[in-house]
Amino acid sequence: MSTVTVLGLFCADLITRTTRMPAWGETLHGRGFSLMAGGKGSNQAVAAACQGASVTFISRLGDDAFAPLAQDLYRQVGIDTTYIGIDTAASTGTATILVDDTKGDNAIVIDPGACAGMTEDDISAAAERIAAADVFVCQLELPLALCRHGIALAQRAGVPVILNPAPACQLPKAFFQSIDYLTPNESEAAELVGHTVETDDQVIRAAKTLRQWGVGNVLMTLGARGVYIDSDGFQGIVPAISAGPVADTIGAGDAFNGALAAALADGEDLPAAARRACATAGISVTRSGAAASLPTRGEVEAQLANPV
């Protein structure tokens, strides 16, 4: 079985639906509330597990009412929780999410909770598991120093690294040389390269810049258009795969990244892996929530065989 190790954050998603996003100082009536498991790292770990990978997740939870959301989910999908610590003095991470019911768009505020107390020692404890993985995945919800430490352990062992640079921030150029697969969306790419990324030419230019800085493969997600790939073996767009009307876009990027990791761990070539990731994201946006929206491998294979 292919193996994926993910370093990242778990958040309890507190989701409120509205007819539109409020302005600062404005109060609106909501149209429903739900509590779900989330966090980019956690979602990506679950997505990879749902695609058949053997997944280890490195993270930390608080000792509170939100922690069982994670523990029950990981038990259900078979994620190894050996390296998930419990901080009895901290709360579990939370994400407060507003969803625009008319468009499916969302806005998110994250509090990392117990994960704010993670150290490099917590990650070093999982060094053997990282070294044994087929793919290592991380994001930027944890402090950059922790991400860099995990990436260094993977790189030392020759394990390919996927970095999903979200939330977006400026990164040292030398850092990109340690990234095998970089998966920004357009706004994240713009933050990384320092110019607007909207037109096709700007997408191509940004991807080329990131490659010049040392990234092995750039996969820039383009929403409903799909993903633009710049790699040694392929340059171009892998189209999005629609599975029906959009319910909300929460977790679509995480679905893409987790499925990409599982596909690469399975040995699929990059365009095929991206196509599976697009199908996974395409299904996820037809459902509400983040982790709750993630499809199984069987559902993705059926979607690939019979696209809408």
**Which residue type is seen at 77?**
V
**Which residue type is seen at 230?**
D
Annotated binding site for ATP: 185, 221-226, 253-254
Q: Exposed, middle or buried, 82 (CB in 10 Å: 0-12/13-18/19+)?
A: exposed
CA–CA distance, 235 with 43 (Å, rounded to integer): 28
CA–CA distance, 289 with 233 (Å, rounded to integer): 35
Contact 253, 39 (CB under 8 A): no
Q: How far is CA 144 from CA 147, 148, 256, in A?
A: 5, 6, 22
Q: Which residue has the tokens 């809408």?
A: 308
CA–CA distance, 145 with 168 (Å, rounded to integer): 15
Interior angle at CA 138, CA 134 and CA 142, nearest 5: 150
Q: What's the DSSP call for residue 202?
A: H
Active site residue 180: no
CA–CA distance, 192 with 206 (Å, rounded to integer): 9
How distant is the alpha carbon of residue 48 from its chain centre? 10
Annotated binding site: 11-13, 39-43, 141, 185, 221-226, 248, 250, 253-254, 284, 287, 289, 293
Q: Which residues pair with 227 in a beta bridge?
A: 221, 238
Contact 290, 250 (CB under 8 A): yes
Annotated binding site for substrate: 11-13, 39-43, 141, 254
CA–CA distance, 135 with 225 (Å, rounded to integer): 26
Q: Which of 201, 254, 266, 269 is catalytic?
A: 254
CA–CA distance, 294 with 308 (Å, rounded to integer): 18
Q: What's the DSSP call for residue 80?
A: B
Annotated binding site for K(+): 248, 250, 284, 287, 289, 293
Catalytic residue positions, numbered: 254
